[in-house]
Amino acid sequence: MEIATHGVIEPSAYQTGNQYVVEIAPKKAEEQQGVLGSPPDRRFSNEAWSSNPGALLLAHAYLLSARAMQRMVEAAQTTEPVRNRLRFSVMQWVDALAPSNFLATNPEAQRALIDSRGESFRLGVENLFTDLQRGRLSQTDESKFEIGKNVGITPGAVVFENRLFQLIQYSPVTPSVYQKPLVIVPPCINKFYILDLQPGSSFVQYAIEQGFTVMLVSWRNPLASDTDGIDAATWGDYLQEGVLTALDVARAISAQKQVNALGFCVGGTLLASALALAHAKGQEPVSALTLLT
């Protein structure tokens, strides 16, 4: 296990346990005296928490425990890349185990259960089964969003399509535009409009307002019912038929030998890999490359 082989805890890190005891003691005393205040965390800001001394103490204990875990990560004798991975992993578990996430330890959810006579619980179970059927967890009511209406509303048109993707070219809004277009490659796991949410929170909108001709790859979502072989598409297919084809189309439309390109998340990995493949063949389709994480 990498943590076991690379992450060694300094003796001083074990003092975090003692420090937790020192920090939680006054909280317990305040709880017994009825003067324990609400912690500075929005998850525990509802009046249902502040009016429940036991739940309020649990919230404080959770936050102090989270802080102790973070101190242990910082005290680990390891490389910075491993420490970054530790930080990420620890915070994933810490956030998942928050008392606000469980009915048994969330007085706000318990109050809603009582006030709604069980309706809140029924709706929660309904949402759970909906997520299970969908195969992924949802954090919002996706039925409230409609492409072209309240998300992904920047005007544009599909200018190319094959079995892997569609290429969208957005309409210019400036009197003149730069000669070289900006080709955006988003990750396959997100919708294309991740960079074109709404006015004021759209990178696509910002780019075209600066005078760029923006072309964006919209990856196809393979389905089990598809019969065109997309389920067997390889990494090489996504590089050649996906990224490199999109760049070729953009160069043809703009009549430019090179374009600018931006890769986001895994889209950046695809883009960088595709450009390495092109370079090995003596081709340089991109003049300026930007990668976002």
pLDDT-derived band of residue 9, with 50, 70 and 90 as boundaries?
low
Domain boundaries, given as residue ranges, for the chain: 2-101, 156-221+230-292
Task: Mark whether 188 is an active-site residue.
Answer: no
- Which of 102, 106, 120 shows the shortest CA–CA distance to 45? 106
Q: What is the mean pLDDT of residues 96-118?
A: 96
pLDDT at 205 over 60: yes
Position 1 scores a pLDDT of 44
Q: Is the pLDDT of residue 152 over 90?
A: no
Catalytic residue among 76, 151, 253, 265: 265
pLDDT at 127: 87
CB 54 within 8 A of CB 98: no
Task: Assign domain 156-221+230-292 to its CATH architecture.
Answer: 3-Layer(aba) Sandwich (3.40)
Q: Tell me the β-bridge partners of 156.
A: 170
User: What per-residue string of b and e applies to 133-158 under the rule 16 or more CB within 10 Å gives b?
Assistant: eeeeeeeeeeeeeeeeeebbbbebee
- pLDDT reported for residue 139: 72
Nearest-CA neighbor of 178 among 110, 234, 258? 258
More confident residue, 146 or 264: 264
